[in-house]
Structure 1
Amino acid sequence: MSGPVLVIELAKAVPCEAVRRLRGLLARCSARFEEKRVGEYDLNINAECLGIPDTGSVDGRRPVQVSLMGPGIGDEATFEAEHDEVDLEPFIGFTPTHAVHVVAFCNRPIDHVVTVLLTAAVMEVVGGVVHVELSEDQVPEVAGLPGVVATMTHPWPAAYGSAVFLRAWARQPGFRLLK
Structure 2
Amino acid sequence: MSGPVLTIELAQAVPPTVIQRLREFLIRSSAHCEEKRVGEYDLNVHAESLGITDTGGVDGRRPIMVSVTGPGMGDEAAFEAEHADQGDQELRLSFTPTHAVAVIAFCNSTVDHVVTVLLTAAIMDLTGGVANAELGEDQVPTVTELPGIIAVTADPWPAAYGSAEFLRAWTEQPGFRLVK
TM-score, normalising length: structure 1: 0.97
Q: How does 1:16-165 map to 2 (within 5 A)?
A: 16-53=16-53, 54-58=55-59, 60-85=60-85, 86-165=87-166
User: Which amino acid counterpart does residue 66 of structure 2 have in structure 1?
Assistant: V
C-alpha distance in 2, partners of 1:38/1:87? Answer: 29
C-alpha distance in 2, partners of 1:18/1:155? Answer: 32
1:55 Cα shift?
Answer: 4.3
TM-score, normalising length: structure 2: 0.97
C-alpha distance in 2, partners of 1:156/1:113? Answer: 22
Q: Percent identity?
A: 66
**Match in the other structure for 2:4:** 4
Q: What is the aligned-residue RMSD (CA, Å)?
A: 0.9
Structure 2 stretches lacking a partner, 5+ long: none
C-alpha distance in 1, partners of 2:146/2:4? Answer: 20
Structure 1 stretches lacking a partner, 5+ long: none
Task: Provide Cα deviations, 1:68-87, integer angstroms capped at 9, x if missing partner.
Answer: 00000010001011112211
Task: Provide Cα deviations, 1:5-36, integer angstroms capped at 9, x if missing partner.
Answer: 00000000000000000000000000001000
1:3 Cα shift?
Answer: 0.3
C-alpha distance in 2, partners of 1:104/1:82? Answer: 17
C-alpha distance in 2, partners of 1:140/1:153? Answer: 12
Runs (4 or more) in structure 1 with deviation over 4 Å come to none
C-alpha distance in 2, partners of 1:131/1:57? Answer: 27
C-alpha distance in 1, partners of 2:81/2:113? Answer: 25
Asked if 1:170 corresponds to 2:155, the answer is: no
Q: How many residues get paired? A: 178
1:57 Cα shift?
Answer: 2.2
Residue pair 1:5, 1:101 contacting (<8 A) in 2 also: yes
